[in-house]
Amino acid sequence: MALADLLTPEAVVPHLRPPSKKAALHELAAHAARLTGLDERAIFETLLQRERLGSTGIGEGIAIPHGKLPGLSRMFGLMARLDKPIEFESLDGQPVDLLFLLLAPEGAGADHLKALASVARALRQPGAPERIRKARDADALYAVLTQATSPRAA
């Protein structure tokens, strides 16, 4: 699954300034609610519940907060780049500045895990984090993200 299948240009936030992990999850939930029409509080609670199981910080400054929600008709992705890295309890202990929110329909099953694996692979491709960090605006960031996982780039 390519990131272009999960992400729209509107779902790219090039400058986010949360002071903490909880604030970052809240801001992601707010953006996702505006784009999906789902309840912001429900999204936030879903993300918090998942983080209580263990951090979604996968290392190299990257986190992939995710969860399943009733009322969602398809997989939804949202990419946010933080202006300043925050503590996220990542696997490698490093702060996080790249967040990819992944929301799946409640009955997504294995498709949710496949999408999660695709996002992790795309974001951890050699050079991908650096290209994402250097993108100048939302359009450039979207182009970097979707080009990295296009069939031509594979």
Alpha-carbon distance of 54 to 64, in angstroms, equals: 12
Alpha-carbon distance of 80 to 10, in angstroms, equals: 11
Nearest to 11 by CA among 3, 19, 22: 3
Query: Which residues form the catalytic set?
Result: 66
- 8 Å CB contact between 72 and 105: yes
Q: Which residues are bridge partners to 99 per DSSP?
A: 63, 80
